[in-house]
Amino acid sequence: MSITFYIAGAVAVAATVFTVTRLNVVHALLYLVISLLAVAVVFYTLGAPFLAALEVIIYAGAIMVLFVFVVMLLNLGKAEARAESALLKPSMWIGPGVLAAILIAELLYLLASGAGDAYPAGVIAPEQVGMALFGPYLLGVELASMLLLAGLVAAYHLGWRKPVQPEVR
């Protein structure tokens, strides 16, 4: 296996551990984005550039936007916003920045050396991905979609607040 595979895997594991252990939601989301990008690099090194692109577009893009909207929907108030801005120091960006820099350096190395053209198992075409997802893995795809729907409904339920009725005297 390529050294870039192992480095991207280590970055993915480290970022995932940081995602789970962070107490601040925004910091956990930053580490989750880095983890998803690292998994995309792993897919790319394994000969699946289409899956890598889907990982970036769907998960690191669309799903993370959904998570950010959930955080915004919760709207914890001015006191929480002040506490959040106090925590958002430049030193908080060191961890995600270092992990992202490792991934960018790996990607630049792969693109410059042409190593991404020599996949060990051959290139996986988009048609093969579609046939696999809607063939033997159809149940898994449907379960994942139901899980995402449940997460969306839960986020809406958590973010929704009943309007406060003024007291009538």
Instruction: Give me the CATH number covering residue 108.
Output: 1.20.120.1200
Distances (CA, A) of 18 to 118, 142, 165, 168: 33, 29, 42, 50
137-159 confidence digits (pLDDT tens): 788 778 888 888 888 888 788 77
Are 132 and 157 contained in the same domain? yes
Would residue 169 count as lying in a domain?
no
CA dihedral 121, 123, 127, 132 (to 10 degrees): 30
- Mean per-residue pLDDT over the chain, rounded: 79
16-44 confidence digits (pLDDT tens): 888 888 877 778 888 888 888 898 888 88
Residue-number span of the structural domain to which 131 is assigned = 125-161
94-106 confidence digits (pLDDT tens): 888 888 888 888 8
Are 129 and 56 contained in the same domain? no
Total domains in the fold of the chain: 2
Are 41 and 109 contained in the same domain? yes
pLDDT band at 126 (very low <50, low <70, confident <90, very high): confident
Would residue 166 count as lying in a domain?
no
Are 115 and 32 contained in the same domain? yes
